[in-house]
Structure 1
Amino acid sequence: MNEKSLYSSPYDDKEYVWLLDNIARHFQLDLRGYKQHRVRRRIDMLMRKYSYKDYKTYFEDLRKDGKLWDEFLDKLTINVTEFFRNPEKWDYLKKHILPKILKERSTKTKIWSAGCSTGEEPYTHAIILEELNAPKNIKVLATDLDKFVLQKAKRGIYSERSMINVPEDIRKKYFRKVDNETYEVLSHVKNRVVFKQHNLLMDKFESDIDLISCRNVVIYFDMDAKNKLYKNFANSLRSGGVLFVGSTERIFNYKSLGLEVIEPFFYQKVSD
């Protein structure tokens, strides 16, 4: 089954291609690498909401109306996450990956949470750094395309749903209970994380990184975008650096990227 058969749009196909090209050019938001049946369905829903008849008229209003663009960005990004998602993987990271990195690199350690969404993942990294008594100057770079989720992440306030995998002792040490259903990350954990807006498909990557986590993000990309992204991640890692992916994601061509599997969903850059 191809993507075209997954969703049939009432709007013009050629004009849709034009829309994506112009959004990439004008807003520096490249949606062309995502699975298009999902992207187009969401765009069409927004257009129907405001009774637009064609993509060109919608695009012109996106350029003029900040609120319309903000809604577009919010609906087109996917932000579902939680602390310690797949706890056994984080346990492996804490026991086997990070101690070795910290021993080798000490204060030079560089960690990147790519596609960090509302912040649960980078704060999980920060909590583990605290648990390992890592030097205070070691920060987690946390990036996402969506400025709204970054704003939420900086606030560090979460519902019970996000906390489902957080052990009680960790809750007490690193969170403040706001009310019966809400928790706030404590300030010394927040201080471990630096948030930044970043487009994985268009922006430059940093280099010499020790640990990159990009989990449950790549599943929304098409195959060409996935291959490009994994190649860029591999190039960003230092020799011996580790890429941590989601539990539904596998890199089948990891050997050609100079990576090896050290544990399911953990890939290490082969030493030079």
Structure 2
Amino acid sequence: MQLNFDFFNKWVKDKLGIQLDAYKEKQMQRRIANIMESCGVNTLEAYSKLLERDPVAKQEFLEHITINVTEFYRNRDLFDTFEKNLVTLNRNFPRLKIWSAACSIGAEPYTLAMILQKNKIQTAKIVATDIDRTILQRAKTAVYKNSDIKNIPISDRNEYFNQLSTDEFALKDGIKRQVLFKKHDLLKDRYEDKCHAIVCRNVTIYFKNDARDEVYQKFSDSLVPGGILFTGATETINFSENFGLKKIDSFIYQKM
């Protein structure tokens, strides 16, 4: 099946405001072909018409192309290392601003909120952003399954969650209130500023090199000197000094 991705990339940018051509081509085209097949359409022209007239299909497309694989304390050992660095950072910056970029269903920023509470860091602000409004609404609702919270000890589950059913847990309001959610596109929107820590994990691996490097530079610009960037377990920033960053721990970089 020969698909006209040049047409579709332009259509998605014009109509949905998403820059598909910044993502790695083969991965993105495979994802689009898969969801087209599930919808029973054979051309991207026909698929674009379906997305225009069917809001459900449009939302399924947005959720399919954005990366929403997440869980609380994903890669727990790395989060433990980040927690130590965050506590150290708080000694130098009593009023922390933390940005959780591409936050998906909220597991990551809420993990940060729990870390702050456990370490009695009370003067901190967490901003969490994502490109998908529907995902952000799920994050605000903050109801999770066992698979989402599998890395949280039972004692912490009891402290921070109310169990709704065998496989549903609602985050308590005390943690929910610590996070401010906003819509944001890493590829085109203005970045947060004066951040002391930025958490963006397992996202840039899907970007082409130029787009990835631009994101890293903008993250660096968003940090105060001495601030830290926490990346995913597959995201090593090569030549980090080119972005004004230095590696200080596993997948943690500090603005020089």
**TM-score category of the 2 structures, normalised to the smaller one:** over 0.9
Match for 1:65 among 32, 51, 54? 54
Which of 177, 180, 193 is matched with 1:191 structurally? 177
User: Matches of 1:131 and 1:165 in 2, distance apart?
Assistant: 16
Q: Which residue of 1 aligns with 2:87?
A: 99
Alignment of 1:17-166 (within 5 A): 17-95=6-84, 97-107=85-95, 109-135=96-122, 138-166=124-152
The one-letter code sitting in structure 2 at the alignment partner of 1:145 is: I
Q: Equivalent residues in 2 for 1:228-247 (5 A)?
A: 228-247=214-233
- Which residue number corresponds to residue 2 of structure 2? 11
Q: Secondary structure at the match of 1:239?
A: strand
Q: What TM-score does the superposition give when structure 2 sets the normalisation length? A: 0.94
Q: 2:20 aligns to what SS in structure 1?
A: coil
Deviation at 1:215, TM superposition (A): 0.7
Letter in 2 for 1:34: Y
Q: Which runs of 5+ in 2 are unaligned?
A: none
Aligned structure 1 segments of 4 or more residues deviating by more than 6 angstroms: none
Tell me what 1:3 maps to.
Answer: none
**Partner-residue secondary structure (3-state), 1:46:** helix
Structure 2 CA distance, aligned partners of 1:83 and 1:48? Answer: 32
Residue aligned with 1:161, SS: coil
| Deviation at residue 59 of structure 1 after TM alignment | 2.0
Asked whether the 8 Å contact 2:128–2:179 carries over to 1, the reply is: yes
**In the alignment, which residue of structure 2 is the partner of 1:4?**
none
Letter in 2 for 1:84: Y
Residue type at the aligned position of 2:119: L
Which residue identity does 1:196 align to in structure 2?
K
CA distance in 2, matches of 1:76, 1:23: 11
How far off its partner does 1:247 sit? Answer: 1.0
Q: Tell me the percent identity.
A: 36
Q: Distance in 1 between matches of 2:227 and 2:183?
A: 23
Distance 1:87 1:42 in 2: 28
Cα-to-partner distance string for 1:163-194 (whole Å, 9 max, x where unaligned): 12111221122111222222111101000111
* 1:268 counterpart residue number: 254
Q: Output the CA distance in 1 between the equivalents of 2:203 and 2:251.
A: 14
In the TM superposition, residue 87 of structure 1 has moved relative to its aligned partner by: 1.5
For structure 1, which segment, 119-128 or 39-48, has the greater mean C-alpha deviation from structure 2 after superposition?
Answer: 39-48
Which segment is superposed worse, 123-132 or 64-73? 64-73
Aligned length: 256
Deviation at 1:77, TM superposition (A): 1.6
Contact 2:127 / 2:182 at 8 angstroms: preserved in 1? Answer: yes
CA distance in 1, matches of 2:184, 2:107: 17
Q: CA deviation at 1:19?
A: 1.2
Tell me, which stretches of 5 or more residues in structure 1 are unaligned? 1-9
**CA–CA separation in structure 1 for the residues paired with 2:224 and 2:6:** 37
Structure 2: distance between partners of 1:58 and 1:179: 38
SS at match of 1:32: helix
Letter in 2 for 1:11: Q
Whether contact under 8 Å (2:99, 2:192) holds in the other structure is: no
Give 3-state SS (helix, strand or coil) of 1:83's partner: coil
Instruction: Report the AA paired with residue 112 of structure 1.
Output: W
State the 1:53 CA deviation: 4.1
* Structure 2 equivalent of residue 206 of structure 1: 192
> 2:134 and 2:150 mapped to 1: Cα distance?
23
Please report the RMSD computed on the Cα atoms of aligned residues, expressed in angstroms.
Answer: 1.6
Offset from partner CA, 1:9-30 (integer Å, 9 cap, x none): x124xx3112102211221111
